């Protein structure tokens, strides 16, 4: 097999794509891995080369804000994993979300956003887009009736996450796409950070754009910030144009770390799926636990959708204890293997009391009004032995 620009066939499995897609090309000195092209700019042999560059072909690198070879290799791998024509990397997940939305909408247009979503995405739509004359309607997660009713002539994009945060509601992307009847022109944009392409491939079910915070599972080691948007070539080109203006580009070193992380993504996600499933079942049976939200449990409101449309249920489990704010804090403090912190998807397990991490400025009553109880805990499992994580949780449940 020639090693030059080997592209896996479409039917290659996700594990093969994760290892080889985009990155199996001829590297300097026969290196197996893609080097970090730590350069800000690129020079031209002569002005003739410059002229041919700007006349289109052959395309080459020009300046770091418009692309970097390490970044391009990583984008090819991500596009292969999502099954899209193209992918575009960013400095962070928020940069991917905001640049994409700014590329899609203009004054006078309308966005529909699922309420149970990343708080900064909601803030961006409700405060930043609002400043520029773009209106946002918030709807309940997966409430297709409410989305259908909210669609206006000027609706440009419907943004949802699946699974959502923190209640892990899963959305049937195909059913959402089916709302795009004649005369409706909106794009379907899915933030699939919690799902990863291993558990769900929204593009295959009709999503126009798939966004991830690559900081989470895609990177997988709690050591980088990045974001990505995947979609058809014309839309990605338009978003790339906006990125060239806004400047939220990925660093070449982060792109390298992301390539490295992606190679083990399928392995990591399968393990995290299995660990989370077992811990969710243990928690649900525990007398000190009030309720567990995990799409793999039959008790979860969107279990049926998850079972039908996903290959795994993910590594995040949310649960409420039979406890008040302080007793819940004592439980969190009593865990030893879990780091107390935001984020998810890395090899290290993390845990957070949602009321303190994201909603500390609200009172108990205000939090209850938006559906966040003081005893709500979000756990993101890493790659430790499940027996050790289970023993740690059981001991902490005894202790509070």
Residues at the interface with ligand PLP (CB under 6 A): 92-94, 118, 161, 165, 191, 193, 213, 215-216, 225, 227
Distances (CA, A) of 382 to 40, 281, 319, 322, 393: 35, 17, 17, 25, 14
The residue (of 92 and 109) whose beta carbon lies closer to ligand PLP is 92
Give the C-alpha separation, 133 to 151, whole Å. 17
Give the C-alpha separation, 222 to 395, whole Å. 26
Q: Minimum distance from CB of 68 to ligand PLP (Å)?
A: 19
- Is 66 among the catalytic positions? no
Tell me the β-bridge partners of 353. Answer: 377
The residue (of 7 and 356) whose beta carbon lies closer to ligand PLP is 356
Give the C-alpha separation, 282 to 294, whole Å. 12
Q: Minimum distance from CB of 400 to ligand PLP (Å)?
A: 27
The residue (of 137 and 193) whose beta carbon lies closer to ligand PLP is 193
Q: Minimum distance from CB of 168 to ligand PLP (Å)?
A: 11
**151 near 183, Cβ under 8 Å?**
no
The residue (of 145 and 371) whose beta carbon lies closer to ligand PLP is 371
Give the C-alpha separation, 302 to 222, whole Å. 29
Q: Minimum distance from CB of 286 to ligand PLP (Å)?
A: 26
Q: Minimum distance from CB of 13 to ligand PLP (Å)?
A: 26
Catalytic residue among 216, 260, 268, 378: 216
Catalytic residue among 15, 42, 65, 85: 65
Catalytic residue among 116, 191, 251, 392: 191
Q: Minimum distance from CB of 314 to ligand PLP (Å)?
A: 11
The residue (of 173 and 397) whose beta carbon lies closer to ligand PLP is 173
Catalytic residue among 24, 76, 77, 118: 118
- Is 326 among the catalytic positions? no
The residue (of 119 and 336) whose beta carbon lies closer to ligand PLP is 119
**250 near 91, Cβ under 8 Å?**
yes
Q: Minimum distance from CB of 191 to ligand PLP (Å)?
A: 5
Closest residue to ligand PLP in the complex (CB): 93
First to last CA, the chain: 59
- Is 85 among the catalytic positions? no
Alpha helices in the chain (DSSP H): 14-20, 47-54, 69-82, 93-104, 119-123, 130-131, 144-150, 173-177, 196-199, 233-246, 252-262, 265-284, 303-309, 325-334, 354-357, 364-369, 386-399
Sheet holding 376-380, edge to edge: 289-293, 316-321, 376-380, 350-353, 339-340
Give the C-alpha separation, 306 to 170, whole Å. 6
- Is 294 among the catalytic positions? no
The residue (of 192 and 283) whose beta carbon lies closer to ligand PLP is 192
Tokens of 368: 């209850």
Sheet holding 110-114, edge to edge: 86-90, 227-231, 209-213, 187-191, 155-161, 110-114, 135-139
Active-site residue set? 65, 118, 191, 216
């Amino acid at each position: 097999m020639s090693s030059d620009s080997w592209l896996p066939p479409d039917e290659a499995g996700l594990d093969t794509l994760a290892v080889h897609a985009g990155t199996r090309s001829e590297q300097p000195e026969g290196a197996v891995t893609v080097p970090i092209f730590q350069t800000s700019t690129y020079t031209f042999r002569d002005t003739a080369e410059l002229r041919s560059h700007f006349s289109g072909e052959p395309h080459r690198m020009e300046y770091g804000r418009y692309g970097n070879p390490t970044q391009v290799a990583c984008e090819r791998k991500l596009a292969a994993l999502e099954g899209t024509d193209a992918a575009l990397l960013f400095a962070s997940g928020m940069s991917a979300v905001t640049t994409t939305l700014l590329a899609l909408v203009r004054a006078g247009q309308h966005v529909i956003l699922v309420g149970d979503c990343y708080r900064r995405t909601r803030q961006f739509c409700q405060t930043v887009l609002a400043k520029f004359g773009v209106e946002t309607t918030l709807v309940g997660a997966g409430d297709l009736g409410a989305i259908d009713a909210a669609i206006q002539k000027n609706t440009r994009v419907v943004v949802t996450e699946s699974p959502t945060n923190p209640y892990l509601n899963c959305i049937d992307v195909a059913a959402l796409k089916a709302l795009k009847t004649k005369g409706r022109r909106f794009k379907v944009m899915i933030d699939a950070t919690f799902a990863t392409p291993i558990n769900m491939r929204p593009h295959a079910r009709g999503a126009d754009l798939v966004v991830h915070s690559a900081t989470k599972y895609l990177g997988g080691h709690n050591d980088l910030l990045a974001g990505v948007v995947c979609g058809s070539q014309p839309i990605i080109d338009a978003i790339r144009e906006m990125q060239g203006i806004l400047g939220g580009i990925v660093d070449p070193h982060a792109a390298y770390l992301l390539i490295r992380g992606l190679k083990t993504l399928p392995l990591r996600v399968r393990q995290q799926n299995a660990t989370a499933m077992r811990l969710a079942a243990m928690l649900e049976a525990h007398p000190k636990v009030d309720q567990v939200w995990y799409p793999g449990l039959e008790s979860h409101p969107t279990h049926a959708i998850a079972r039908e449309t996903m290959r795994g249920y993910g590594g995040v489990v949310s649960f409420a204890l039979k406890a008040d704010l302080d007793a819940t804090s004592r439980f969190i403090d009593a865990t030893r293997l879990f780091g107390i912190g935001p984020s998810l998807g890395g090899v290290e397990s993390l845990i957070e009391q949602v009321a303190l991490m994201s909603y500390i400025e609200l009172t108990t009553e205000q939090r209850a009004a938006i559906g966040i109880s003081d005893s709500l805990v979000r756990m993101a499992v890493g790659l430790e032995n499940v027996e050790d994580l289970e023993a740690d949780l059981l001991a902490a449940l005894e202790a509070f």
